[in-house]
Amino acid sequence: MAATLGMGSLGEIREGLASGDLSSEALVRVCLDRIGRYDAKLNAITFTDPERSLEMARAADARLQNGERGTMLGLPMVLKDNLNWSGLPVSNGSKIMEGYRAPYDATVVKRLLESGAIPIAKANMDEFAMGSSGEYSAFGPTRNPWDIRRVPGGSSSGSIVSVAAGYAPFALGSDTGGSVRLPASFCNVTALRPTYGVLSRYGVTAMASSLDQVGPVARSAAGVAAGFSVMVGRDSHDSTSVDLPGMERLASLKPAPLKGLRVGLPKEYFGEGLDPAVRSALENALRVFEREGAEIIEVSLPHTAYAIDTYYLICTSEVSSNMSRFDGVRYGARKPGESLAGMMSATRESGFGPEVKRRILLGAFCLSKGYYDAFYMKALKARTLITQDFTDAFGKVDIIATPVSPGVAFPIGDKTLDPMAMYLADAYTVTTPLAALPCLSMPGGFLEGLPVGVQLIAPSLSDVKLLETAHAFQQLTDHHLKTPPELN
């Protein structure tokens, strides 16, 4: 019984709650039990508050018994530990945040709470969302439930593993350069990076402000859409937030017709470095679209070769600025020093991990006098060219399909000593944040027992059509229904 509830889809659990066959309190207890049984080896969770979660579950049951129904009412969820949940720690996977508790709810969390969703845990993550593997956390690495010797992907490692391992049917991560899509591909779940601005960033710790977005995670596109539906929309606390056209279609997602759909394949994504088996999985997925009458069209994104350099120049520059607030003065840990500058230096030296330090230094260099025009300004110009590439491509196709990663989940420790090899794991995911486009990773098959994801990319503000297309694919395939065998 416990395993069935833990690994059930969001839609199945919602139906059980609506019919009275399930109670929210029992469901939360099952989810907390799974965390207790499996997380010693997966290390996906940083903090829990069982009493608070169970109290919220009992309140949700009362609403259900009074006949209230809602897309997320009574459903457990896990929150990445860079999202504010009032009263709980928000560690960002870092020692420097020790002792800090969120004084308010992030807007996306608040909207989910108002809908009746129940947070059951905060999730482990690469420190300050800087990482592609889930290994750069002060709490230790998170492990892939399909093979605990391998990485789950990052930086939203704990959020993705929580859904893959059945801790909760829904989770929130964040995506700056691929941080929900890469681990979703490695762990066989579905994760969305929305159009920039569709989800408020208020109450989310900033890493790279022009790139950061909250990313909903579930087993399927329909599950992602359900949680997404209650979070979208303009927020007065976030001046970059926008409303989403067609958002009323999210709560009861319908599959998009695939007949006549023009699916673009960017030729630049199929060159050196792509594992032939990953390419084969994508080709198999495309055959599903073709059988339903979709047309596969080759497109070109000619400035893709500059994407990694462009992304990391812009990202680290914004990191350098955003990380300046973590100085031991206002909140978090503080180390003693003989002067104010000495205290700040000691606090940051002991509080930040190596990847955060690396990116702060790179960003400070990019923004320094004499290098600003040569690096940062040039990167902004390249960003414009990359964005124009997508605009041109979407004049010919409705949606673009690509790999998520050049390979499957790699062994823990395999890339930590080679930062460039780690950064190249994001080769197919950094272009869309630069162009502010919606994209998602969905299960596309398996390679020797390890999941392989497929990335779909849509024009700006076409998030609903993107999810409907992924839902249509998942109606025709069963990859997303498969769960890690040792956890069933």
Question: For 383-398, what is the mean pLDDT?
Answer: 98
Distances (CA, A) of 151 to 184, 335, 426, 481: 12, 32, 14, 21
Q: Which among 305, 313, 274 is positioned nearest to 402, based on CA atoms?
A: 274
The answer as to whether 157 is a domain residue is yes
Where is average pLDDT lowest: 185-189, 222-226, 445-449?
Answer: 445-449
The answer as to whether 286 is a domain residue is no
Distances (CA, A) of 71 to 118, 122, 253, 418: 13, 22, 11, 44
CATH number at residue 103: 3.90.1300.10
The answer as to whether 445 is a domain residue is no
Residue 145 has pLDDT above 60, yes or no: yes
The letter for the amino acid at 418 is D
The answer as to whether 480 is a domain residue is yes
Measured in whole angstroms, the distance separating CA 104 from the mean position of its chain's CA atoms is 22
What pLDDT score was predicted for residue 419?
80
| HEC per residue, the chain | CHHHHHHCCHHHHHHHHHHCCCCHHHHHHHHHHHHHHHHHHHCCEEECCHHHHHHHHHHHHHHHHCCCCCCCCCCEEEEECCECCCCCECCCCCHHHCCCECCCCCHHHHHHHHHCCEEEEEECCCHHHCCCCCCCCCCCCCCECCECCECCCCCCHHHHHHHHCCCCCEEEEEECCCCCHHHHHHHCCEEEECCCCCCCCCCECCCCCCCCEEEEEECCHHHHHHHHHHHCCCECCECCCCCCCCHHHCCCCCCCCCCCCEEEEEHHHHCCCCCHHHHHHHHHHHHHHHHCCCEEEEECCHHHHHHHHHHHHHHHHHHHHHHHHCCCCCCCCCCCCCCHHHHHHHHHHHHCCHHHHHHHHHHHHHHCCCCHHHHHHHHHHHHHHHHHHHHHHCCCCCEEEEECCCCCCCECCCCCCCHHHHHHCCCCCCHHHHHCCCEEEEEEEEECCEEEEEEEECCCCCHHHHHHHHHHHHHHCCHHHCCCHHHC
Spot the catalytic one: 23, 24, 53, 80. 80
The answer as to whether 470 is a domain residue is yes
Residue 212 has pLDDT above 50, yes or no: yes
Residue 8 has pLDDT above 80, yes or no: no
Residues in the chain: 488
* CB contact at 8 A, 78 and 158: yes
Tokens representing residue 350 in the block: 């002991």
Instruction: Identify whether 155 is a catalytic site residue.
Output: yes
CA distance 255 to 292: 12
The answer as to whether 110 is a domain residue is yes
CA distance 433 to 170: 23
Instruction: Identify whether 267 is a catalytic site residue.
Output: no
Q: For the chain, first and last CA: distance in Å?
A: 11
The answer as to whether 234 is a domain residue is yes
Number of domains comprising the chain: 1
Give tens-digit pLDDT for 81-131: 999 999 999 999 999 999 999 999 999 999 999 999 999 999 999 999 999
The answer as to whether 444 is a domain residue is no
Spot the catalytic one: 115, 132, 133, 179. 179
Phi, psi of 175, deg, nearest 5: -135, 115
What pLDDT score was predicted for residue 174?
98
Spot the catalytic one: 132, 155, 229, 462. 155
CA distance 271 to 274: 6
What pLDDT score was predicted for residue 7?
65
Identify the band that residue 1 occupies on the pLDDT scale cut at 50, 70 and 90: very low
CA distance 75 to 280: 36
Give tens-digit pLDDT for 261-275: 999 999 999 988 899
Residue 245, domain extent: 2-260+464-487
Instruction: Identify whether 179 is a catalytic site residue.
Output: yes
